[in-house]
Amino acid sequence: MAEDLSISKGSKQEQYETLIPQIEGLLTGEDDLVANMANVAAALKEQFDWLWVGFYVVKHDELVLGPFQGPVACTRIRKGRGVCGLSWSEAKTLIVPDVEKFPGHIACSSSSRSEVVVPVIINNEVVAVLDVDSQHLNYFDETDQQFLERIVSLVNFNS
Ligand code: SME
């Protein structure tokens, strides 16, 4: 496995298209879930340099902080709370162009301006979410949704 990522400077779509095969390479042959979540978060952070990117994992009735890259974050989120908890309860991706206009947004970092949260759904149940924060307003769109949903589907959450 190559240890260095090849970083694309192209369009957002080109950046994802360059990154995805490399993420597949990082995941191949490794069945440890924490290791795989950690490398996915690191690869995304290295390519896009977002403020924060990481996983929250469903444990009992809460989301618990998992592998991430960025500033320290809140460790537990209740179902339905914040963007992450709502993505969990609704089992759908949420794009938030302006976090200050999202009722109940949980501000882990005062620098966060926009956010996208993608649920990981296994056998019709949300088992985790991928959360991404940007320091820029209105940063995420359907391209991010499409590719981030694909990226979380590459990780084997049954392992
Ligand atoms: N903003 C999230 C909380 C997690 S942090 O952004 C890392 C939310 O409202 O659920």
pTM > 0.85: yes or no = yes
Residue-wise pLDDT for 38-75, tens only, equals: 999 999 999 999 999 999 999 999 999 999 999 999 99
Q: What is the pLDDT of residue 32?
A: 97
Q: How far is the CA of 45 from the centre of ligand 1 (A)?
A: 16
Question: Cβ(95) to ligand 1 under 6 A?
Answer: no
For residue 143, CA distances in Å to 40, 85, 134, 139 come to: 18, 22, 15, 11
Residue-wise pLDDT for 29-38, tens only, equals: 999 999 999 9
Residue-wise pLDDT for 127-157, tens only, equals: 999 999 999 999 999 999 999 999 999 999 9
Does 87 map to a domain? Answer: yes
**Strand, coil or helix: 91:** coil
Domain around 70: 12-154
Neighbours of 23 (CB within 10 A): 21
Strands 125-134 and 52-59: what pairing?
antiparallel
CATH number of the domain enclosing 81:
3.30.450.40
Beta bridge pairs of residue 77: 63
Residue nearest to atom 5 of ligand 1 (CA): 108
Does 80 map to a domain? Answer: yes
Total domains in the chain come to 1
Does 35 map to a domain? Answer: yes
